């Protein structure tokens, strides 16, 4: 019989090894799944993990890596703060949409005047949109004790409806010949979020994501806010005894995660996506939850996890195109990654004992 025994202290080795073991197991299990689908597992895994970086089309897919990883990392950094405090903002997708709507509306209101102030104004508006949307579940939780998981999640669907209404109505491109969607902000020089170094995918949002990683790391290890966040997550009663106001912490954490999600939406709408449309959001807000956990809620880990996740997305698309793998199989593969991560995570706090019940 196998039993689990609680470790007196969390194992440092396992904390570091968990993501690597999880990735390795995902490759094995995913390979088995691909084999059962009649595909060559080695080729499938190579297509997902190797080809986007070094394959024939790498010159196209490499910049995509940063474009996709940027918003994931930015959102995940914000989410990880709340998750560590036991505050579960599941609605980053909605905050991301609201950030994009606010930013696009700001830019379009000034259009076509050119000014250096447009881009910064859109950044502020984007952050504000995300924060306001996150304040709804935050304040409802503080005031009425509602469950922030449900409220923030439900607000994603409200945000999607709002997005559709905006793309079809108020923000629709008057010169778009009746097609839904706004003007292309990427073609509006004052509002465009272009590559800082052409052809790399490195835009302002990616730069901010990297800054967020560094700030996040400093806050978690050296600042009182990070200490309070960890405390509240580990022992809520001790946190109150230590002087943490739980309501204040909820507002701060939801505000930061909403603001960063809104910023991600802003940089997306002004750059890679270019315009607001019905299908503007592609699930970054949800995927960022996986990224946050894959990175063990640690800023450096999130940086790596965001890059890895972006890789599986781009590689997954490549595998669909080149090997005719169904989308469901790719999603299964990504699901496995989270599954193995959470399963292996157990080893941090528990150790296996083999053999019969000898002790208790």
Partner 1 sequence: MTTPLLELSGLTKAYPGVVANSEVSFDIARGEVHALLGENGAGKSTLVKTIYGLVQPDAGHMRLDGKSFAPAEPRAARAAGVAMVFQHFSLFDAMSVAENVALGMENPPALNRLARQIREVSHSYGLPLDPDRIVGDLSAGERQRVEIVRCLLQEPRLLIMDEPTSVLTPQEVDILFETLRKLREEGVSILYISHKLEEIRTICDRATILRHGKVVGKCDPKTTAARDMAEQMVGATLATPSRSLGNTGEVVLELTGLSAPAPRAFGTALKDIDLTLRAGEVLGIGGVAGNGQDELAMALSGEMPVAQGMIRMKGREIGRDGVTARRCMGLLCAPEERMGHAAAPDMSLTENALLTAGPREDLVRHGFLRWGRAKSFAEKVIERFDVRTPGPGTAARALSGGNLQKFVIGREIMQRPEVLVVNQPTWGVDAAAAATIRQALLDLAEAGAAVIVISQDLDELMEISDRFAALNGGALSAPRPAEGLGIDEIGMMLGGAHDMTPAHGEG
Q: Which is nearer to partner 1, 240 or 327 (CB)?
A: 240
Q: What angle do CA 220, 221, 222 make, to 5 degrees?
A: 105
Q: How far is the CB of 9 from partner 1 (least distance, A)?
A: 5
Q: Which is nearer to partner 1, 54 or 241 (CB)?
A: 241
DSSP H or E stretch at residue 2: strand 2-6
Q: Which is nearer to partner 1, 114 or 223 (CB)?
A: 223
Q: How far is the CB of 249 from partner 1 (least distance, A)?
A: 13
Q: How far is the CB of 349 from partner 1 (least distance, A)?
A: 9
DSSP H or E stretch at residue 353: strand 350-354
Beta-bridge partner residues of 351: 5
C-beta of residue 282 within 8 angstroms of C-beta of residue 269: no
Question: What is the rounded distance in angstroms from the CA atom of residue 133 to the CA atom of residue 123?
Answer: 16
Question: What is the rounded distance in angstroms from the CA atom of residue 262 to the CA atom of residue 100?
Answer: 7
Q: How far is the CB of 128 from partner 1 (least distance, A)?
A: 24
Contacts of 345 by beta carbon, 8 Å cutoff, 6+ apart? 18
Q: Which is nearer to partner 1, 46 or 230 (CB)?
A: 230
| Sites of contact with partner 1 (CB under 8 A) | 8-10, 222-225, 227, 230-231, 234-235, 237-243, 245, 357-360
Q: How far is the CB of 8 from partner 1 (least distance, A)?
A: 5
Q: Which is nearer to partner 1, 231 or 273 (CB)?
A: 231
Contacts of 154 by beta carbon, 8 Å cutoff, 6+ apart? 91
Q: How far is the CB of 86 from partner 1 (least distance, A)?
A: 13
Q: How far is the CB of 137 from partner 1 (least distance, A)?
A: 24
DSSP H or E stretch at residue 351: strand 350-354
Q: Which is nearer to partner 1, 13 or 328 (CB)?
A: 13
CA distances from 302 to 47, 125, 219, 360 (A): 23, 26, 15, 38
Contacts of 262 by beta carbon, 8 Å cutoff, 6+ apart? 95, 96, 98, 99, 100, 102, 103, 126, 127, 128, 129, 130, 131, 133
Q: Which is nearer to partner 1, 112 or 243 (CB)?
A: 243
């Amino acid at each position: 019989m196998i039993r689990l025994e609680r470790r007196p202290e969390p194992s440092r080795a396992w904390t570091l090894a968990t993501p690597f073991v999880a990735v390795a197991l995902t490759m094995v299990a995913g390979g088995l799944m691909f084999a059962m689908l009649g595909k060559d597992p080695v080729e499938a895994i190579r297509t997902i993990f190797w080809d986007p970086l070094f394959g024939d089309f790498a010159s196209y897919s490499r910049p995509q890596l940063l474009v996709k990883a940027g918003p994931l990392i930015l959102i995940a950094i914000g989410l990880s703060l709340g998750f560590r405090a036991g505050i579960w903002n599941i609605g980053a997708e909605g905050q991301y949409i609201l950030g994009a709507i606010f930013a696009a509306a700001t830019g379009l209101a000034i259009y076509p005047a050119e000014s250096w102030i447009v881009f910064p104004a859109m950044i502020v508006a984007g952050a504000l949109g995300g924060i306001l949307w996150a304040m709804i579940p935050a304040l409802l939780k503080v005031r009425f004790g509602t469950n922030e998981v449900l409220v923030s999640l439900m607000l994603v669907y409200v945000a999607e409806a709002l997005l559709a209404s905006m793309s079809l109505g108020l923000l629709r491109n008057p010169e778009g010949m009746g097609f839904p969607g706004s003007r292309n902000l990427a073609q509006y020089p004052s509002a465009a979020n272009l590559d800082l170094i052409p052809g790399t995918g490195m835009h302002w949002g990616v730069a901010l994501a990297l800054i967020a990683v560094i700030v996040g790391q400093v806050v978690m290890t050296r600042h009182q806010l990070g200490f309070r966040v960890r405390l509240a997550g580990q022992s809520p009663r001790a946190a109150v005894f230590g002087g943490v106001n739980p309501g204040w912490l909820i507002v701060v954490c939801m505000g930061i995660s909403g603001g960063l999600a809104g910023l991600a939406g802003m940089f997306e709408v002004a750059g890679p996506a270019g315009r607001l449309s019905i299908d503007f959001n592609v699930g970054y807000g949800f995927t960022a939850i996986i990224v946050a956990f894959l990175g063990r809620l640690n800023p450096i880990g999130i940086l790596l996890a965001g890059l890895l996740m972006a890789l599986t997305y781009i590689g997954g698309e490549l595998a669909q195109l080149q090997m005719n793998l169904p989308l469901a199989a790719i999603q299964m593969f990504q699901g496995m990654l989270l599954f193995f991560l959470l399963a292996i995570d157990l080893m941090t706090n528990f150790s296996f004992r083999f053999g019969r019940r000898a002790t208790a």
